[in-house]
A and B are shown apart, each in its own frame.
Chain A
């Protein structure tokens, strides 16, 4: 299935080359930094790697990593569900560890390596976790899904290195990928459509395949 968005854009006559939207924040600030006007928005230059590609941005200091990805790099696979660290829809991987991108400012990630859902796989070459979510119907509306998938990929890595959870019985024994462990560790990712039962099956399958 083709994305309706992609379909729409291809119908357009693109007369002008792609505008550099990443500069919007800084130019906007400059245009207002005149005498008697309030201080311009403070901005910072930051560079990091996103899905293996080096990106450099001049960003308002208040810009979250989430909005840097969505509004400046147009990587909208990472979702804004609450903007308050309550839902997990914005989960991305920073140097392999899962992070709520809405709870961290972009300027804090100089030189780091960020992986978003777009970096895990794409239609036609899905990451095993993406394929398992399709196979087990681990989603419905799809809005929490990128966060669930990023979170579950990092979560299995956490278990490999024996990071314990509230559900871990024996802190000295190797962590086991049980449904109870998965449910505990994935509880920061809310799915209001209620696909939890299917998501646990998808993650269990991937964990088994890797083992």
Chain B
């Protein structure tokens, strides 16, 4: 099905199932420990071996020699596979750094060997016996020091401009120019990367933890130099990803190589302290924002520049992209620059670009509002735009940022905010409120599905879509149930298997809308097949409801269409250029109340509210959970999350969950989420858009602005730890 004209009325609009509060259909499996994740696949007839990874102890250089003799003789060891022993492997399309293979070291903890033994304990002990001589080279690890060496990236749109920024800024009544930094951040999903690989002749099956089945399948085949058709990927349950499982990772490659060598299925999990330097992270940024405004609050000039670093061949953090679209202003420019760093690979983490970009932009907006003497909510509303500010011929498909801000302000009690920073005190606490817009683009990718109707009236959906906690199982079941007029418990959903039609996968908040649109397409085809089988005329106005198909006075049980054999159809959604002719984005507003301890500078979050305008909400329960989870991650970004760089040796020092501080229960209060009642017919037949990343974009800035309102202290370097506040806090009496 090609989607190239705006959606009109369709069965999804009935809203009998889609849009309803339906609990996760995988809930009973997950809450009872019966959901089987990658490392847990167990065939009782198989004797698995265990692989333990060895990582580079240097950040840049070459392996001089590797002595594996002691490891090979250690108890239980079956094989030792080394990167210098195996020769060069091809690199997958989506990776920047090599996952394994060759003698060159590109980053700290790059995998250089895997030790295979009968047990996990034996593999781990033997891995410690591998001796490596390195020829270390000097690397570049400090973004601030490398900033002036940054270049214009060759790909993407590193520069944008409209009007004449320089002239407009020069003559603006109010001129604002500030710089901000965001640190390297880690996904830190709860399930570490893990794979089990099993060869059957030339055929390889890998149980793994992947957001994007087809990308992994393709890149694993490329890396191993085998035919893609020989690779079978299974990933039915994924213990979180946030972007860290978008691209093939070392565990899958090592497990496949180890299993080939050991001639047995091998299990490989990356140890937690290995993740942060071995895999990817959100790159740190330095951002400069300039805003020129009239005294009445209208922005006349806006510029956003960002610097980040990555390994050679890598890409930038596109932290300026929201500034091209979020606020009006005739004269504008953005610039993205990329330095070469020898830190581990920088890559996508939840809302790449917008998440760190909004961390800076939305503080800047708060600062300019204050300079103008305007309420920050009103300042944002004054500068709303219904068209792409760089190309005013191009409208937004649907945009209600103003509604988000106004609804949120009313519900949060924004009018009670102290107008003068640092003036509301409750005991030891300085109390303040902060606001930020939320913004994230809506991406559309093709997505396929297979749908089967059997004689029992059970509808089975098969797609290689993944559920990384997002609720895919449930919203896909809801979509099929709505389309075929059956209850959710008559729908079986199978995901995460490369034998199923290729889907959008999970990433970039595109998975929910696109994968259900693919299921919609397949269900349209199944409705046609059912109608034909049951002898309805193609001109009939058919209804699918309560397990029956009907037209006029005739009603036939749906299952009857499959009475002699199951009906199986397959289709995919493909998107035309509606996302080019119209800017598709999602909008929201974050409101936060904080308390800052006047003596210690400790910040506590007291209240949080998000209002989101993101098209049709397919399931208010799972969508809300996406948003509160993102708000939680935003609190981490504001207050504690930072991968600390050892600028001499070139690695992230705090590479575990003790030292990389993500929010815990005690950090998060009760959270409120409001969804505006809207649909976006430009996005897909589902009229839904992404929500998972929108919930993150702006949260950290709302916290930062709340801290400013509480204390009068403006911190422009994330995270806002107490050391950055304590010197400027008032004297404690």
The answer to whether A and B belong to the same complex is yes
Contacts from A to B (Cβ < 8 Å): 1-9, 12, 14-16, 18-19, 21, 24-25, 28-29, 32-33, 37-41, 60, 62-63, 67, 70-71, 74-84, 86-87, 89, 116-118, 120-124, 126, 130-131, 133-135, 137, 139-146, 149, 179, 182-184, 186-200
CB-nearest residue of chain B relative to A199?
B665
Contacts A28-B119, A117-B33, A141-B238: A84 and B656 contacting too (C-beta < 8 A)?
yes
A196:B668 contact, CB within 8 angstroms: yes
B469:A76 contact, CB within 8 angstroms: no
Could you write out 20 A-B pairs with CB less than 8 Å apart? A1-B26, A3-B35, A4-B496, A8-B234, A19-B47, A21-B47, A33-B75, A67-B120, A77-B32, A77-B34, A78-B33, A79-B37, A83-B271, A135-B23, A139-B31, A187-B664, A192-B242, A192-B662, A193-B629, A194-B630
CB-nearest residue of chain A relative to B628?
A197
Of A37, A78, A133, A144, the residue contacting B190 (CB under 8 A) is: A144
B45:A41 contact, CB within 8 angstroms: no
Shortest Cβ distance from residue A171 to the other chain B in the assembled complex, whole angstroms: 19
Contacts A182-B665, A186-B665: A198 and B628 contacting too (C-beta < 8 A)?
yes
Shortest Cβ distance from residue B721 to the other chain A in the assembled complex, whole angstroms: 18
Contacts A9-B43, A190-B662, A194-B668: A121 and B633 contacting too (C-beta < 8 A)?
no
Contacts A187-B664, A189-B665: A141 and B34 contacting too (C-beta < 8 A)?
no
B33:A82 contact, CB within 8 angstroms: no
CB-nearest residue of chain A relative to B468?
A141
Interface residues on B, range: 35 or more
Shortest Cβ distance from residue B198 to the other chain A in the assembled complex, whole angstroms: 12
B32:A194 contact, CB within 8 angstroms: no
B73:A83 contact, CB within 8 angstroms: no
Binary interface profile of B, 146-181, with partner A (CB < 8 Å = 1, else 0)? 000000000000000000000000000000000000
Binary interface profile of B, 597-624, with partner A (CB < 8 Å = 1, else 0)? 0000000000000000000000001101
Binary interface profile of B, 473-505, with partner A (CB < 8 Å = 1, else 0)? 100000000000000000011111100000000
B30 interface residue, CB < 8 Å from A?
yes
CB-nearest residue of chain A relative to B664?
A187
Complex CA–CA separation, A78 to B564 (angstroms): 44
Complex CA–CA separation, A183 to B60 (angstroms): 43
Shortest Cβ distance from residue B432 to the other chain A in the assembled complex, whole angstroms: 21
Of B34, B121, B496, B497, the residue contacting A60 (CB under 8 A) is: B121
Complex CA–CA separation, A131 to B30 (angstroms): 11
B713 interface residue, CB < 8 Å from A?
no
CB-nearest residue of chain B relative to A131?
B31
B658 interface residue, CB < 8 Å from A?
yes
Complex CA–CA separation, A67 to B374 (angstroms): 59
A197:B32 contact, CB within 8 angstroms: no
B25 interface residue, CB < 8 Å from A?
yes
Which A residues lie within 8 Å of B665 (CB)? 182-184, 186-187, 189, 196, 199-200
B658:A19 contact, CB within 8 angstroms: no
A141:B190 contact, CB within 8 angstroms: yes
B28 interface residue, CB < 8 Å from A?
yes
Which A residues lie within 8 Å of B25 (CB)? 1
Complex CA–CA separation, A186 to B663 (angstroms): 12
B42:A74 contact, CB within 8 angstroms: yes
B125 interface residue, CB < 8 Å from A?
yes
A130:B272 contact, CB within 8 angstroms: no
CB-nearest residue of chain B relative to A16?
B45
Shortest Cβ distance from residue B36 to the other chain A in the assembled complex, whole angstroms: 3
> Which of the listed residues A81, A82, A83, A192 has the most CB atoms from chain B within 10 Å of its own CB?
A192
Which B residues lie within 8 Å of A33 (CB)? 75
With A63-B121, A192-B662, A193-B240 given, name 16 new contacts (CB 8 A). Answer: A19-B47, A62-B121, A77-B32, A80-B269, A81-B239, A123-B32, A134-B28, A137-B27, A140-B625, A189-B665, A192-B187, A192-B190, A192-B240, A194-B632, A197-B628, A198-B625
B653-682 CB contacts (< 8 Å) to partner A: 656-658, 662-666, 668-671
Contacts from B to A (Cβ < 8 Å): 23-37, 39-47, 73-76, 117-122, 125, 187-192, 234, 236-242, 269, 271-273, 468-471, 473, 492-497, 621-622, 624-626, 628-633, 656-658, 662-666, 668-671
Which B residues lie within 8 Å of A2 (CB)? 492
Shortest Cβ distance from residue B642 to the other chain A in the assembled complex, whole angstroms: 16
B239:A143 contact, CB within 8 angstroms: yes
Contacts A4-B236, A192-B189, A198-B625: A140 and B469 contacting too (C-beta < 8 A)?
yes
Contacts A24-B47, A140-B629: A41 and B40 contacting too (C-beta < 8 A)?
no
Complex CA–CA separation, A145 to B239 (angstroms): 10
Which B residues lie within 8 Å of A62 (CB)? 121, 125
Complex CA–CA separation, A120 to B33 (angstroms): 10
> Which of the listed residues B239, B272, B624 has the most CB atoms from chain A within 10 Å of its own CB?
B239
Complex CA–CA separation, A24 to B630 (angstroms): 43
Of B122, B630, B658, the residue contacting A84 (CB under 8 A) is: B658
Which B residues lie within 8 Å of A142 (CB)? 26, 29-31, 35, 237, 239, 469
Contacts A4-B36, A182-B665: A143 and B624 contacting too (C-beta < 8 A)?
no
B190:A81 contact, CB within 8 angstroms: yes
Complex CA–CA separation, A135 to B22 (angstroms): 10
Of B236, B271, B470, the residue contacting A5 (CB under 8 A) is: B236
Complex CA–CA separation, A87 to B37 (angstroms): 17
B240:A41 contact, CB within 8 angstroms: no
Of B192, B234, B469, the residue contacting A80 (CB under 8 A) is: B192
Of B34, B187, B237, B666, the residue contacting A183 (CB under 8 A) is: B666
B40:A70 contact, CB within 8 angstroms: yes
Which A residues lie within 8 Å of B625 (CB)? 137, 140, 193, 195, 198
Complex CA–CA separation, A199 to B665 (angstroms): 9
CB-nearest residue of chain A relative to B273?
A84
Of A5, A32, A194, the residue contacting B663 (CB under 8 A) is: A194
B29:A3 contact, CB within 8 angstroms: yes
Complex CA–CA separation, A197 to B234 (angstroms): 32
Shortest Cβ distance from residue B143 to the other chain A in the assembled complex, whole angstroms: 25
A81:B191 contact, CB within 8 angstroms: yes
CB-nearest residue of chain A relative to B50?
A71
Complex CA–CA separation, A131 to B631 (angstroms): 25
Which B residues lie within 8 Å of A141 (CB)? 189-191, 237-241, 468-469
A179:B670 contact, CB within 8 angstroms: yes
Which B residues lie within 8 Å of A70 (CB)? 40
A120:B32 contact, CB within 8 angstroms: yes
A1:B28 contact, CB within 8 angstroms: yes
Of A3, A18, A86, A184, the residue contacting B34 (CB under 8 A) is: A3
Which A residues lie within 8 Å of B42 (CB)? 74, 76
Complex CA–CA separation, A14 to B43 (angstroms): 9
CB-nearest residue of chain A relative to B696?
A194
Contacts A62-B125, A63-B121, A134-B28: A140 and B470 contacting too (C-beta < 8 A)?
yes
Which B residues lie within 8 Å of A25 (CB)? 118-119, 121
